[in-house]
A and B are shown apart, each in its own frame.
Chain A
Amino acid sequence: MNTSPAPSKSDLFKYTLRQADNSMVLCQRLCQWAARGPDLEEDISLTNIGLDLIGQARSLYQYSASLCDQQVNEDDLAFMRDSHEWSNLLLVEQPNGDFADTIARQYLYDAWHLLFLEQLTESNDTTLAAIAAKSIKEVKYHNRHSSMWIKRLGDGTEVSHQRMQDAIAAVWPFTAEMFIPDELDQRMLEFGTGVDLKALKHTWDSQVSSLLVDATLSKPVAGEAIVGGRQGQHAEYLGDLLEEMQSLPRSMPNHQW
């Protein structure tokens, strides 16, 4: 039994890094939309969401860096780790696909992210709680934005309905991972530092179900969960994403930019 009143520094480091990686990878995906949005206004909206996410990632990486045994900074954590060292959820690394795929990924994550942050504001780690409190306002807007599109694409034209339905089905297997705690999640929960992932499931389910009904979409049947992101088991997608993102600082390490 763990008797110490607070999590170990290395646990807290890893836990913070996970949340940072989620925001970072999703931000990078949204960056790939730059100048490619379905209309000019949406280009701006997607970048706004990306900017919120990179802000969150930076706060979390800076906090992680302060907890790390080695001398590292936010950029080392973002640019110098290989794909197997990344602990983001598999959902956020899924490729952009068409706009429906992007919105499906975004909404299913936003809905979870919001519930996650609400709990994290109660964390006994004051830094994590403060970052969560700041992020929550941003993510409420993300959730409103992606919900708006789920309804419009779902209940728009026949084409958009089909695309939205397919998109939801395609990312659905990756959502289960968000509610399955591993040992680290368990330990962080016991200390009152982390979030009770299992407890988020019920609310998420009912919120998602009710939006899908509004959007005339059907909820996919729960199939087999695809997991492993938090343990560094990623699809090749993530490797490609990181290769692009990290190429310059890796080809010229120890430089100021």
Chain B
Amino acid sequence: MRANQNSKTLSADELKFEELLASGRKIEPRDWMPDDYRKTLIRQIGQHAHSEIIGMQPEGNWITRAPSLKRKAILMSKVQDEAGHGLYLYSAAETLEADRTDMLEKLNNGKMKYSSIFNYPTPCWADMGAIGWLVDGAAICNQVPLCRTSYGPYARAMVRICKEESFHQRQGYEIMLTLCRGSAEQKQMAQDALNRWWWPSIMMFGPRDDKSPNSELSLKWKIKLFSNDELRQKFVDIAVPQANILGLTVPDNDLSWNEETGHYTYGEPDWEEFFEVIQGNGPCNKERVSNRREAHENGQWVRDAAIAYAEKRAKISRPKTTQDPL
């Protein structure tokens, strides 16, 4: 019989769970799972969903002002995808018996968090380029391994999301490329955007491994498959050559290529700022959450009406189901 670190005997349920994890098979909603596994997943999937929903705002802000019809249509579909991705993720979280209404309420009253990257403002069109290129680029580094995460519904949601997001980064890079090949003023816009988004993107991977309290357990449970620092390194290695192609300068004086390791060495981000933003003191925290809350509250009468209508119809007749063969 196997034993865990506390040399406590594992129950049959625990044993089955551990075996499933070890064999690389997925945990599915009706399987037994440790409470902390469930809680960690709800927290992570919920935060991820909230990030998609809050993430609509910094770009939604430019939909009405996109400088060409093509860019407007692209941005509309990107922001729409983000709403969709939020919904796929809420749907995955709901299989863990987390209620979407409840999660949204916790987002609205600050009890649940979302990625701090969305607390930075988007004053300039070039920010749409930088977000797509860097923020979505960093998100992809995070998300691709999550397609193999141990919880089935989360993994399946991630597969769908990754498939749909592949255009998000490309459209962002294309915006940057167009600006960099345009006038000097446009190129400066692109450089400014890179300056503002580089460090927040680096910090998207979370604290350094030695300062990341939840990481170890998540790795053990195969909720996470790579550590924060591994993913961050991967991102830097990909993004720096992309900046070079644009002819832009990455705002990191310590950045250099390390022949020995085959990786870029990069500087230390301002972690104090990171924790400030997480604590809710970022430039746009209050605005983002209050916009979300306002939309939710303004929509209450609409949702009430739809429910009232459905209840009235249900009383008049049973809901119509398909009588013909499916």
Contact = CB atoms under 8 A, between A and B. Distances in A.
Interface of A: 28, 31-32, 34-44, 47-48, 50-51, 54-55, 57-58, 61, 74-75, 78-79, 98-99, 151-153, 155-157, 159-160, 163, 244-245, 247-249, 252, 255-257
Nearest to A254: B183
B145 interface: no
A51 B303 CA distance: 24
Contacts of A98: 298
Given A37-B295, A40-B86, A156 B304 contact: yes
Interface in B277-326: 291-292, 294-295, 298-309, 312
Given A40-B87, A155-B309, A256-B182, A249 B68 contact: yes
A256 B295 CA distance: 35
B119 interface: no
Interface in B68-126: 68-73, 76-77, 79-80, 83-84, 86-87, 125
A39 B69 contact: no
A31 B69 contact: no
B125 A57 contact: no
A35 B79 contact: yes
A48 B80 contact: yes
Contacts of A57: 69
Given A248-B125, A252-B186, 7 more contacts: A34-B79, A38-B299, A47-B83, A156-B306, A245-B64, A249-B68, A257-B68
21 contacts: A35-B79, A36-B298, A38-B295, A38-B299, A43-B83, A44-B83, A47-B80, A48-B80, A51-B73, A54-B72, A75-B68, A78-B69, A152-B306, A152-B309, A153-B302, A153-B305, A156-B305, A156-B307, A163-B301, A244-B65, A257-B125
Nearest to B292: A35
B77 A34 contact: no
B152 interface: no
Q: How large is the interface on B (under 10, 10 to 19, 20 to 34, 35 or more residues)?
A: 35 or more
A98 B295 CA distance: 11
B27 to A, nearest CB: 27
Given A35-B295, A247-B65, A156 B308 contact: yes
Given A51-B76, A51-B80, A153-B305, A61 B69 contact: yes
Contacts of A159: 301, 304-305
B57 interface: yes
B213 interface: no
B295 A44 contact: no
Contacts of B301: 157, 159-160, 163
Nearest to B313: A155
A83 B260 CA distance: 62
Given A98-B298, A152-B309, A160-B305, A31 B84 contact: no
A34 B73 contact: no
Q: Is the interface of A mostly helix, strand, loop or mixed?
A: helix
B168 to A, nearest CB: 15
Contact of B65 (A61, A157, A248): A248
B178 interface: yes
Q: Is the interface of B mostly helix, strand, loop or mixed?
A: helix
Contacts of B202: none
A93 B102 CA distance: 37
B309 A35 contact: no
B304 A39 contact: no
Contacts of B31: none
A252 B298 CA distance: 37
Interface in B175-213: 175, 178, 181-183, 185-186
A13 B303 CA distance: 43
Nearest to B54: A35
A220 B63 CA distance: 35
A202 B309 CA distance: 29
A157 B305 contact: yes
Nearest to B304: A157
Nearest to B86: A40
A35 B60 contact: yes
Ranked nearest first, the 8 interchain pairs of A and B with the lowest CB-CB distance are: A156-B305, A38-B299, A160-B305, A38-B302, A34-B60, A257-B67, A47-B80, A35-B56
Contacts of B312: 155
B53 interface: yes
Contacts of B307: 156
A70 to B, nearest CB: 18
A34 B308 CA distance: 26
B302 A244 contact: no
Nearest to A159: B301
Contacts of A34: 56, 60, 63-64, 76, 79
Nearest to B291: A35
Contacts of B60: 34-35
B309 A248 contact: no
A255 B76 contact: no
Among B56, B300, B304, B306, max chain A CB count under 10 A is at B306
B306 to A, nearest CB: 5
B125 A31 contact: no
A159 B302 CA distance: 9
A191 B64 CA distance: 37
A28 B72 CA distance: 10
Contacts of B84: 44
Given A255-B186, A256-B178, A55 B73 contact: yes
